[in-house]
Structure 1
């Protein structure tokens, strides 16, 4: 018995849309990763506050990209 699955079929326009959204999200996450690396020397409350700002910024950028 084969465990292979049939390939999913989708509309090309959906693929392009998802691809563009995925690319924007990946770019935002890559920037957030770079921002986190910049804050590696921080400790304690400073680190917590810095990482919270990075996360909030990334979430806002993803939401803005989804809106338009």
Structure 2
């Protein structure tokens, strides 16, 4: 997930919205174990952190 979010000079290869949709689809399935649920939750928290960092970088560049 992280390499596709870092991307290259053109930006992320796959944005955070793509990964969120994938993770939410997994959560909607009825066959997620507790371990998988914890992993999905961790990945969603990572996406939150990345989104916050992107917003922070964008705000800094606009100043």
TM-score, length of structure 2 as denominator length: 0.51
C-alpha distance in 2 between matches for 1:36 and 1:59: 14
What's the CA shift for 1:32?
Answer: 2.5
Q: Give the structure with higher Rg (CA).
A: 1
Count matched residues: 38
What's the CA shift for 1:35?
Answer: 1.5
Moved over 4 A (4+): none
Q: Which runs of 5+ in 2 are unaligned?
A: 1-14, 28-35
The Cα RMSD (Å) is: 1.6
- The higher relative CO (CA closer than 8 Å, separation ≥ 6) is in 1
Q: Which runs of 5+ in 1 are unaligned?
A: 1-30
